[in-house]
Structure 1
């Protein structure tokens, strides 16, 4: 597969930091021997979760956002592999596949100007090519009966996750999105703000729940559009955490009722978490513990088909913070799903 860079045993060895009388997560995970015919290899391997990264922020650029999501995978894998291996973390159920890399696209991105419409259009064309790689890889993993855990990149990749899962299952799927933004913008060329609208328009996405919309950053037009579509429901951050018109736990149940009766994707946008370096970092958002509780709640559902954690944009100074956050969310998801 052209853009897939398999995770190797030499990379694993260089990252692992072994300590006496401790066993690390990375000592028990599995790797693929090679990247040829991923589907056939996965069929023969006894794992439940296949983790891979997406190293790109072209979709964020194409949405006039702040880039940096490219770095989330590298920040995460260093922390995740050095997490403790114990009865709570289940590393033997995990295969680390590697990451999708688009270096040629990223190089071209450096020469583009967000203030020029023609450059934005060029970036949006590149996003459609990224879509193809993401949807193909996700479809191979799901078709093999495994659960993909996708780390990094912009929220544009929700489209590939949904499409790939739907193609593998040969039916539309639902999605719940923990996000400050709806990502249901116009079909104006692909970018990080319209992954769900494209998936919906093309019939891959059926029921969609947006959890935690920020009222200050959602247009009146979008609110009216969402209210017209019966298969789309949402709540707002302010209704739960500021006015307390309803509770976080009650709203999780409402969201689950909307998406949980068929296969669904679990989307976590780090923009929704307070003070986490991301493409649209917020001083007012859900706590890390709320995000973890959310992943736990939906991870315990039989119909959850994938986990996607996106939009984190670590700097060298915040790399460890972001890596720890995403590693917590990954292990929370695995722990929850193993409890079924």
Structure 2
């Protein structure tokens, strides 16, 4: 990816969507969301992270850098039924191959947003997003529970950060005793024995895609609540890799899943976590608009973001 002429940080873009008239009875995301200000009241803050560098380093197919724009477009027309305080904090773009510099900028801005009391939702970008965002949460509030909805562990050991390394990086950042990591949706054929051994060494909770397929929607939500209740940490980082969904539901991802976990279960898990009142940070990553069909992957990501924001609001 060559973004050398693009700014590292761009302010909030102009939102658009269907307009049925003025007033809260016609409210949609595009008419409700506002650019973040220093004195904005605590609410839900979106921050884009336009990056393909981690995916490229990991040998994936390019296009995730456009994910944040696709999510904003899909969110724009969604109706707003609660008095949500919605803010757009702009977009960070990886400059050329400087993923490390983009991570530093991302962590700084996430820390600022969390310090200001916002539920911070990152619009990725490849899954390299998760290290930069978690670093910001860690700097703001210390160690946090991580729940990753993903077909992959992303615990690879590499000579430099990639979209496959973020959670091993986080384990090294926070230390083994504070590393509380769960992955729901793991595809056994798509993760090597070495990755399972690394997960075991780090005490990772694993629920594979086949187990989730056998659970009801309510059981999936209860699994999430049990994970939260059994964690020593008071804050949660929820990371959602859209490749956890079946390829027919989410074709527009960097690494489509042959089996995957159905959207109703993923949504139930995400809403259950948001309903605990402990959620501080969310990543929605690996949307690749180049391979999407009728924007269905972006629309599913937007629905998750919307429902997480509502569930979080209802805890207040």
- Common fold, TM-score beyond 0.5? yes
Report the more deviating stretch, 252-261 or 55-64. Answer: 252-261
Query: Per-residue CA shift, 1:36-94, capped at 9, x if unaligned?
Result: xxxxx0xx21231111211111110111111111111111112212211323xx4x411
- The alignment of Structure 1 onto Structure 2 pairs a total of residues equal to 300
Q: Distance in 2 between matches of 1:317 and 1:181?
A: 20
- Name the SS of the counterpart of 2:258 in structure 1: coil
The answer for the alignment partner of 1:229 in structure 2 is 202
TM-score normalised according to structure 2 size: 0.87
Q: How does 1:36-55 map to 2 (within 5 A)?
A: 41=38, 44-55=39-50
The counterpart of 2:254, out of the listed 251, 254, 279, is 279
Secondary structure class of the residue paired with 2:289: coil
Q: Which residue of 2 aligns with 1:96?
A: 88
Q: Tell me the equivalent position of 2:18.
A: 17
Between 329-338 and 316-325, the greater mean CA deviation after superposition: 316-325
What are the within-5 Å matches in structure 2 for residues 238-253 of structure 1?
Answer: 238-241=210-213, 248-253=220-225
* Structure 2 residues without counterparts, runs of 5 or longer: 1-6
For the structure 1 residues 260 and 93, does the alpha-carbon distance in structure 2 shift closer, same or farther, using more than 3 Å as the test?
farther
RMSD value, Cα: 2.3
Match for residue 81 of structure 2 among 69, 75, 86: 86
SS in 2 for 1:331: helix
Which residue does the alignment assign to 2:3? none
TM-score (norm 1): 0.81
**Structure 2 residue aligned with 1:3:** 8
Q: Residue 190 of structure 2 aligns with which residue? A: 217
Shift in alpha-carbon separation, 1:190–1:334, aligned structure 2, 3 A: same
1:242-261: CA deviation from partner (whole Å, max 9, x where unpaired)? 699xx534532443244474
1:163-174 pair list within 5 angstroms: 163-169=135-141, 171-174=142-145
Shift of 1:163: 0.8
Alignment-derived partner of residue 267 in structure 1: 239
Within 2, Cα distance between the matches of 1:53 and 1:227?
A: 33
Contact 1:47/1:94 (CA < 8 Å) preserved in 2? no
Residue from 26, 32, 50 that aligns with 2:30: 26
- Sort the Cα spacing of 1:316 and 1:18 in 2 relative to 1 into closer, same or farther, 3 A: farther
CA distance in 2: counterparts of 1:301 and 1:187, whole angstroms: 35
The runs of 5 or more residues in structure 1 that have no matched partner are 34-40, 106-122
For residues 199-258 of structure 1, the C-alpha deviation after alignment (integer angstroms, 9 at most, x for no partner) is 11122762111111111112112222222333x2212112332699xx534532443244
> Is the counterpart of residue 296 in structure 1 residue 300 in structure 2?
no
Give the Cα separation in 2 of the matches to 1:72 and 1:236: 26
